[in-house]
């Protein structure tokens, strides 16, 4: 019997069994592995949006693991470097098919020291303004550059504020916000607007800078407070409502309780794009074949309650399309 089974003339039943066994073996093949390296932490709105887009786009395409550097809450360079070393150990032990780096610190502390020059495909998203600090492009990397819509936001502001030739940029004193300040200043220079920087470390300093700007500059651009010590949303909102005379602007959706007008960038767009690039790589594309591109989408928001309290009216072309951030 053994010899008969081993010969070329197998019965239909044996052939079917062998075929099912081969199919079962094929279906048991391990899924590709995708490691997402987040610069920040779960619960930070921007990271949650990026991860939401990634999970949607990567669903059923690969096994996902997330490693967090937690660099907003643990911002010391030594702390971030230690977290990055743990990610490097995970990369070497888990051997992901693609590594996805979200935002600048993931690229600075993981991508640049541990993945440059390797054969591990890298997809990035959320690098602010420029890839020049990382020497990109690399043969094994592609990604999306985060471009805040500062120019259209400032152009809109100048149609609202009669003497809109100066502004204050109020944000946390972090790497991300310093990069955004550079991009904002470049856009402002092209419109003849002078920028006063107020990058602060504490919640009290944020409120003090806000009050000063309310009495001096034409308008105020609010960056992210992530990384500010003793940040208290209720105290910040009370300060805005108490001294609310200048047009306040933002490019972050979660800052709309404090801002009158927002042209807000989309974390989901970046996550979905990174997922599509990752899927293309898993299907055989090389990272260098996928162009590095800037983000393109933004949403318009208005806080009608703050606008009304300040006696500021938006032009109809903005008011008619901007979503209400203060709607119940």
Task: Give the model confidence (pLDDT) of 243-299 as tens digits.
Answer: 888 999 999 999 999 999 999 988 999 999 999 999 999 999 999 999 999 998 899
* In a domain? residue 76: yes
> Do 57 and 47 belong together in one domain?
yes
> Do 124 and 155 belong together in one domain?
no
Reported confidence tier of residue 321, pLDDT bands at 50, 70, 90: very high
> Do 248 and 169 belong together in one domain?
yes
Tokens representing 67 are: 């490693």
Q: Left if phi > 0, otherwise alpha if psi is -120 to 50, otherwise beta: which for 227?
A: left
> Quick one: what percent of the chain has pLDDT higher than 90?
79
271, 38 Cβ separation under 8 angstroms = no
* In a domain? residue 18: no
Task: Determine which helix (DSSP H) or strand (DSSP E) holds 250, and give its type and residue range.
Answer: strand 247-250
What's the rounded Cα separation, in Å, for the pair 46 and 49? 5
Beta bridge partners of 267: none
- What average pLDDT is seen over the chain? 89
> Do 218 and 197 belong together in one domain?
yes
Instruction: Tell me what pLDDT residue 175 has.
Output: 85
* In a domain? residue 16: no
Nearest to 71 by CA among 46, 49, 45, 38: 38
Instruction: For residue 125, give every residue at least 6 positions away whose Cβ sits within 8 Å of its Cβ, in sequence order, or none.
Output: 50, 100, 101, 102, 103, 143, 144, 146, 270, 271, 273, 274
Instruction: Tell me what pLDDT residue 173 has.
Output: 95
pLDDT tens-digit profile of 18-60? 454 444 444 556 899 999 999 999 999 899 999 999 999 999 9
pLDDT tens-digit profile of 102-158? 999 999 999 999 999 999 999 999 998 889 999 999 999 999 999 899 999 999 999
> Do 270 and 137 belong together in one domain?
yes
Tokens representing 51 are: 């991860």
Instruction: For residue 89, give every residue at least 6 positions away whose Cβ sits within 8 Å of its Cβ, in sequence order, or none.
Output: none
Phi, psi of 124 (to 5 degrees): -120, 160
What's the rounded Cα separation, in Å, for the pair 286 and 142? 9
* In a domain? residue 79: yes
Q: Left if phi > 0, otherwise alpha if psi is -120 to 50, otherwise beta: which for 311?
A: left
Tell me which residue range forms the domain holding 231.
150-265+299-324
Instruction: For residue 26, give every residue at least 6 positions away whose Cβ sits within 8 Å of its Cβ, in sequence order, or none.
Output: none
Number of domains in the chain: 2
Nearest to 2 by CA among 19, 14, 17: 14
> Do 275 and 314 belong together in one domain?
no
Q: Left if phi > 0, otherwise alpha if psi is -120 to 50, otherwise beta: which for 250?
A: beta
| pTM assigned to the model | 0.77
* In a domain? residue 255: yes
What's the rounded Cα separation, in Å, for the pair 82 and 199? 26
């Amino acid at each position: 019997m053994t010899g008969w089974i081993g010969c070329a003339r197998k019965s239909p039943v044996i052939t079917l069994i062998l075929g099912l066994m081969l199919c079962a073996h094929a279906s048991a093949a391990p899924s590709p592995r995708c490691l997402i390296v987040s610069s920040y932490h779960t619960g930070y709105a921007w990271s949650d949006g990026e991860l939401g887009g990634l999970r949607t786009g990567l669903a059923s395409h690969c096994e996902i693991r997330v490693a967090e550097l937690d660099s907003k809450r643990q911002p010391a360079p030594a702390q971030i470097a230690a977290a990055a070393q743990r990610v490097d150990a995970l990369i070497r032990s888990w051997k992901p098919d693609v590594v996805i780096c979200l935002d600048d610190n993931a690229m600075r502390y993981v991508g640049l020291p541990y993945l440059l020059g390797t054969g591990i495909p890298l997809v990035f998203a959320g690098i602010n303004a420029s890839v020049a600090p990382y020497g990109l492009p690399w043969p094994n990397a592609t990604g999306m550059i985060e471009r805040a819509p500062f120019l259209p936001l400032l152009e809109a502001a100048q149609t609202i504020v009669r003497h809109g030739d100066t502004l204050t940029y109020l944000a946390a004193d972090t790497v991300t916000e310093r990069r955004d300040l550079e991009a904002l200043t470049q856009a402002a220079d092209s419109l003849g607007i002078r920028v006063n920087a107020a990058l602060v470390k504490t919640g009290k300093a944020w409120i003090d800078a806000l009050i000063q700007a309310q009495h001096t500059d034409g308008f105020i651009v609010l960056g992210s407070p992530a990384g500010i010590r003793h940040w208290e949303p209720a105290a910040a909102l009370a300060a805005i409502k108490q001294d609310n005379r200048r047009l306040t602007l933002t490019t972050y959706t979660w800052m709309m309780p404090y801002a009158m007008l927002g042209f807000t960038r989309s974390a989901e767009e970046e996550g979905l794009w990174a997922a599509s690039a990752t899927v293309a790589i898993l299907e055989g594309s090389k990272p260098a074949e996928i162009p590095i591109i800037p983000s393109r989408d933004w949403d318009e928001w208005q806080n009608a309650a703050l606008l009304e309290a300040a006696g500021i009216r938006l032009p109809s072309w903005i008011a008619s399309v901007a979503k209400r951030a203060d709607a119940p």
